[in-house]
Amino acid sequence: MRRLRVAAAAALACATAAAAAPSAQDGLYTAEQAARGEVLYDEQCASCHGPIRAIVPEMAALLGDHTFRNTWRGRPLGELFGFIRETMPQDAPETLTPAQTADIVAYILSGNRLAAGETPLPDDPERLPHILFER
C-alpha cells in the first residue's frame, strides 16, 4: 500500500511539473508580435543569419533549420531570449530592448512552424525560463 501511495505521489508531482512548464507549442506569441519580429529580424539579423526559411550553409540559419531546433529543443525560451538580448546583433550586442527581443523570438518560433496564439510572448525574462522550446 505504501508503494502505491509513493507511486501516486510521484505521478502527481510529475503531472504538476509538466503543467507548470508550458511548451513553446502552446501558442505563446501573437501573429502581430511575430510580424513585428519579422521586420526586426530583417533589419537586425538577416545579414548574418540569412533570410526567412532560407537554409544557407555558410550562415547560422535560425528559421526552419534542423540545427537550430536540435540546439534549442527542450531548453527554456529564457535561454534563447537571454542569448539574443545579450549577444545580438553581433556588431551591437545588448542594443535590442526586451520587447524587440520577444518579437524576434516570436518570429523565430513562427518560422519554425509553431502556431501563434492570443497571448504575447512575455518580454520579461523572469517569466520566460519556464517555457520550453519543444519542437
pLDDT in tens, 75-93: 888 999 999 999 999 999 9
Q: Is residue 38 part of a domain?
A: yes
What is the spatial distance between Cα 97 and Cα 43, in angstroms, rounded to a whole number?
A: 14
Q: Is residue 18 part of a domain?
A: no
What is the spatial distance between Cα 6 and Cα 49, in angstroms, rounded to a whole number?
A: 49
Instruction: List the domain range (segments joined by +) for residue 85.
Output: 23-127
Q: How many domains does the chain have?
A: 1
Q: Is residue 4 part of a domain?
A: no
Whether the predicted model's global pTM rises above the 0.85 cut? no
Categorize the per-residue pLDDT at 104 as very low, low, confident or very high, splitting at 50, 70 and 90. very high
Q: Is residue 5 part of a domain?
A: no
Q: Is residue 10 part of a domain?
A: no
Tell me the sheet residues that pair with 132: 23, 76
Quote the DSSP letter at residue 131: -
Residue of 30, 24, 29, 53 whose CA lies nearest to 41? 53
Look at the chain and count its residues.
Answer: 135
Cell of 131: 517555457
Cell of 132: 520550453
Q: Is residue 16 part of a domain?
A: no
Rg (CA), the chain: 17
Q: Is residue 67 part of a domain?
A: yes
Mean pLDDT of 118-125: 91
Residue with cell 500500500: 1
What is the spatial distance between Cα 24 and Cα 116, in angstroms, rounded to a whole number?
A: 10
Residue of 97, 100, 102, 109 whose CA lies nearest to 134? 109
- The per-residue pLDDT for 65 is 58
pLDDT in tens, 48-60: 887 765 544 444 5
Q: Is residue 105 part of a domain?
A: yes
- CATH number, domain of 105, equals 1.10.760.10
